[in-house]
Structure 1
């Protein structure tokens, strides 16, 4: 997270993408540099956000955010910490911090259960106007084999195992969207069914979370 490296990556990504600016720049997994020192980590995040705020004012990026795997669940930082770091970096209450990204799936189900009760990082981010994007909705493809036909039928009758797993993520309240890749057109169409179908009702989602002990 050194300033020189971040500045280098911004300029390199702009060149590689052939864009005048980056729409949304994520700082990925800063918690990996925590080493148990939360105060030091927050200082590093603030320093990184300072680079991003400068880049936004220069027109190199439109906005920025944090993509994390375990930052919220490990207690490395909170939404309040990120907003505070951004405000310190900007020297103002108005910042270019716009989004967070975190894993949401049948394996990473806690964010779903928390969102249903108006708590957790998804609800906290929505409360301060940040977009929330779900990553790894199939946990890196692991859920393709882990979800049984019985579980799929319990989640969403008539859905395939993949579509059922994705429908839980698609129905999570407070998400702006989900990051998903597909290896074939058929896989993409299967995923599309999950996101184009009516959302699972909140009470049903609670039942699913209870059964899976989220």
Structure 2
């Protein structure tokens, strides 16, 4: 049975990996996402959370790439959700849930039953199919595939084999939080939606900086570009 801390970590990981191709990222991009783009944690706290999630089994790091443990069942958060800091700062050890269902085995059994009973569909069989369908919802792997496909735009020119580190550094990085706040306040969008749209533009356009993607979002919303430029160039 999951606890409040478990669920908070599962929601955090769902948000964190939804926009990364193939569900893979690196330390720099995760710390930057939590601290700079979403502004949930300080850079120091973000690095501390990352270290603890790796040490306690929630995240797996191989060859500089980080991904959720294959046994973690991610939980989609509600609209406007943000993590309770004290819960993610001290995450519990990850324990594989005993109730996770082996979907491959269930599918094989289902196909065998359908083959044997294809000529006769009765009420008990319908009930059994509904029960199997509910069990399949527990499994993580299919839901991760859907998340990745949705987050990757159809017209993306980005090579899926390229990692997140291929993006160039932002020269105006220090002013990005102020720029996000300005676009959100002026357009009526929430900060997270501003960041999501900017990330979508980066994936569509290729190697562009975050501040440039945010500027494109601002222009799309009809904002005064003089004000936007002034924020970007502030030292």
Same fold (TM over 0.5): no
Relative contact order, CA 8 A, sep 6+: which one is greater?
2
- Structure ID, larger Rg: 2
The structure that is helix-richer by fraction is 2
- Length-normalised TM-score, structure 1: 0.26
The structure that is strand-richer by fraction is 1
- Length-normalised TM-score, structure 2: 0.25
